[in-house]
Structure 1
Amino acid sequence: MQLFYTPDIDAASSTYFLNEEESKHCVKVLRLQPGDEIELIDGRGNFYTAAIADAHPKRTQLRIVSIEKDFHKRNHYLHIAIAPTKNIERLEWFLEKATEIGIDEISLIICQRSERKEAKVERLNKIITAAIKQSIKAWHPVLNEPVALNKLISTRFDGQKFIAHCEPDDKFTLKEELKPFGKYLILIGPEGDFTPKEIGEALNNDFKALTLGESRLRTETAALEACFEVNFLNRV
């Protein structure tokens, strides 16, 4: 399967032109010819089958053969807010794997103990795009710009809200608290964990304290564990 990400495609159109970069890959690298079929995803849930009409190396013209809407639409909505890791490659790893497993939205949160307070969202989005192509997903997760934790905590969210932390407080597991087929927001802190004050603010804003097991996990591992558990608990 030759899969291309085409976020600007119009689902109502019968033709589409690949941009110069994708045209070059299609014609020069893959050596596809007129009549060959490829697949397209737009990041909005549409999966297209298209045939090459004109194999131009700078502006390949396609004829849309069929569209499958809501391709592999998931039965829940998962938003993970994670503090960017000091080693950016660990965050990149999380984004890649979480996209492959299934996630809808990611927020980068700046906490009191954050060792990294900025991230290049454009580069990170490219990693997400590569992951949806690799895992054949038609939905592109939303990646938000870095935001202060207290601002995100106070933002309205219509769903279940959790904060995973390492303090010795009473905590719940996702298996105990998760309501299937819902919307979820999970906070994952920096390497030094959330401060007691940050935890208190989250709890005062209707977040529930969450445990992800007895092991002390790295930030990106904890986030991926939460992603896996939510997807597993929503399997039908």
Structure 2
Amino acid sequence: MSAQRLHPFALVDDLDTLEVSRELGHHLGVVRRLRVGAELFVGDGAGSFRAVKVDAVQPRVHLVPLSDIQTPQRQTPSLGIAMFLPSNERLSWAVQKLTEVGIDRIHLLSDSGDRRGGVQISAAGLDRLDRIAREASQQSERLWLPDITPPMEAQEFFGDTSAGVAILDPDGGPLPTGVTTLVVGPESGVVISPESIPRVSLGLPILRIETAAVAGAVVLAALRASLICICDNS
């Protein structure tokens, strides 16, 4: 995310052609009520942006560049939330808020032992989550879209990813240094994982999956921005 405010801000597919989709044109011309001559910033969702000006609004919104394309350095480390699947409505809310907070990777986990038999998401459902993340990125002036992975079994996730991972657990210990990905859920409260992966607590009561995911994401984002630090009690 750039240190400067990018307002108003929108996402386009190509910063060279600046082609405006019908949906984005409606957003800029009807929702934002931008008129000819209005200036704004547009990004490509992959970290680059440029200043542009509205050159026409009829029959379609047309943009012209005002600056060269800029690509600021991305914040490190990359942050992830791996969450077991709640209901579709709650998952949509979580993706929106995790995007606004600045999470880079949203790993969706399926639990075959869940009382619902392991929730799956269709390709159309994943597209919908991508649209939600895109809209949230525009609202929060975010330059990088999060990577949302299709649902996978937890054991597959732990097999592929273990470094920097911790599991949120009300009975867990303090958050150690070096954690960049938090695992949240499932509704059963039981996560079977390798013993090497620490279990950590946020010091909060039992939370819904989506609430715990956002709470954990805020902590990770604040640590990355050096707004808070992990105390050494040794």
2:232 corresponding residue in structure 1 = none
Q: Distance in 1 between matches of 2:206 and 2:214?
A: 14
Q: Distance in 2 between matches of 1:217 and 1:88?
A: 17
Q: TM-score, normalised by structure 1?
A: 0.79
In structure 2, the CA distance between the partners of 1:109 and 1:30, relative to structure 1 (3 Å rule), is closer
Q: Distance in 2 between matches of 1:213 and 1:29?
A: 41
2:24 corresponding residue in structure 1 = 22
Q: Find the partner of 1:186 among 182, 187, 193.
A: 182
Which region of structure 1 is more displaced relative to structure 2, 106-115 or 54-63? 54-63
Query: Aligned with 2:217: secondary structure?
Result: helix
Q: Distance in 2 between matches of 1:21 and 1:191?
A: 36
1:46 corresponding residue in structure 2 = 48
Query: Aligned with 2:221: secondary structure?
Result: helix
What is the CA deviation profile of residues 38-91 of structure 1, one whole-angstrom value per residue up to 9, with x for unaligned ones? 2112111122211233434336242242433127x3232111110111x32222
Matched to 2:220, the amino acid is V
In structure 2, the CA distance between the partners of 1:30 and 1:217, relative to structure 1 (3 Å rule), is closer
Q: Find the partner of 1:162 among 158, 161, 166.
A: 166
Matched to 2:164, the amino acid is Q
Query: Aligned with 2:173: secondary structure?
Result: coil
Q: TM-score, normalised by structure 2?
A: 0.80
Q: Distance in 2 between matches of 1:130 and 1:211?
A: 31
Matched, 1:127 2:147: no
What is the aligned-residue RMSD (CA, Å)?
A: 2.4
In structure 2, the CA distance between the partners of 1:225 and 1:27, relative to structure 1 (3 Å rule), is closer
Q: Shift of residue 17 of structure 1?
A: 2.0
In structure 2, the CA distance between the partners of 1:28 and 1:102, relative to structure 1 (3 Å rule), is closer
Query: Aligned with 2:69: secondary structure?
Result: strand
Q: Shift of residue 212 of structure 1?
A: 2.4
Q: Shift of residue 96 of structure 1?
A: 1.7
Matched to 1:202, the amino acid is P
Matched to 1:81, the amino acid is A
What is the CA deviation profile of residues 10-34 of structure 1, one whole-angstrom value per residue up to 9, with x for unaligned ones? 4xx3x42212222344345555444
2:70 corresponding residue in structure 1 = 68
1:79 corresponding residue in structure 2 = 80
In structure 2, the CA distance between the partners of 1:105 and 1:33, relative to structure 1 (3 Å rule), is same
Percentage of identical aligned residues: 25
Matched to 1:76, the amino acid is P
Q: Shift of residue 178 of structure 1?
A: 2.0
Which region of structure 1 is more displaced relative to structure 2, 73-82 or 61-70? 61-70
Which region of structure 1 is more displaced relative to structure 2, 225-234 or 18-27? 18-27
Unaligned runs of 5+ in 1: none
1:227 corresponding residue in structure 2 = 217
1:100 corresponding residue in structure 2 = 100
Matched to 2:177, the amino acid is L
Query: Aligned with 1:145: secondary structure?
Result: strand
Q: Find the partner of 2:194 among 202, 206, 217.
A: 202
What is the CA deviation profile of residues 179-213 of structure 1, one whole-angstrom value per residue up to 9, with x for unaligned ones? 3xxx7222112111125xx1xx332xx32122222
Query: Aligned with 2:103: secondary structure?
Result: coil
Q: Distance in 2 between matches of 1:216 and 1:98?
A: 19
